[in-house]
């Protein structure tokens, strides 16, 4: 088909303080060649959003892409004595520290 246009709404305030909604038609064409752009509907919809709405949409989409970090509580209580490998080997062999002498 031919080139598409999207509508972007914006608010404009005149000198008297009246606020009006203005709808801009944005042609989806290449600025240099004038040929229609081949973009997805999603990209066209993102172009149609205001900058503030676009940022909010991107942040909401990131929630599905980036996992949320959760706080993890660890309650560690270490009891016992320090045992070396040599002590553990002696224990497994049935030897005691007194046998070394």
pLDDT in tens, 3-30: 677 778 888 999 999 999 888 887 777 7
pLDDT of res. 97: 62
Q: Which of 46, 41, 2, 6 is nearest to 24 (CA)?
A: 6
- Cβ neighbour number for residue 33 with a 10 Å cutoff: 7
Instruction: Report yes or no on 99 lying in a domain.
Output: no
Residues with Cβ within 8 Å of 71's Cβ and at least 6 positions away in sequence, in order, are: none
pTM of the model: 0.42
Instruction: Report yes or no on 57 lying in a domain.
Output: yes
Number of folded domains that form the chain: 1
pLDDT in tens, 56-73: 999 999 888 888 888 888
Instruction: Report yes or no on 93 lying in a domain.
Output: no
Instruction: Report yes or no on 94 lying in a domain.
Output: no
Domain ranges, residue 16: 5-65
């Amino acid at each position: 088909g031919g080139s598409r246009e999207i509508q972007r709404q914006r608010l404009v305030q005149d000198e008297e303080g009246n606020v009006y909604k203005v709808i801009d038609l944005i042609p989806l064409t290449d600025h240099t060649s004038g040929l229609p752009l081949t973009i997805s509907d999603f990209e066209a919809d993102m172009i149609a959003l205001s900058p503030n709405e676009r940022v909010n949409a991107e942040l909401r989409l990131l929630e599905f892409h980036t996992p949320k970090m959760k706080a993890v509580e660890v309650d560690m209580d270490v009891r016992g004595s320090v045992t070396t490998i040599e002590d553990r080997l002696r224990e497994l062999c049935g030897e005691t520290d007194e046998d070394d002498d």
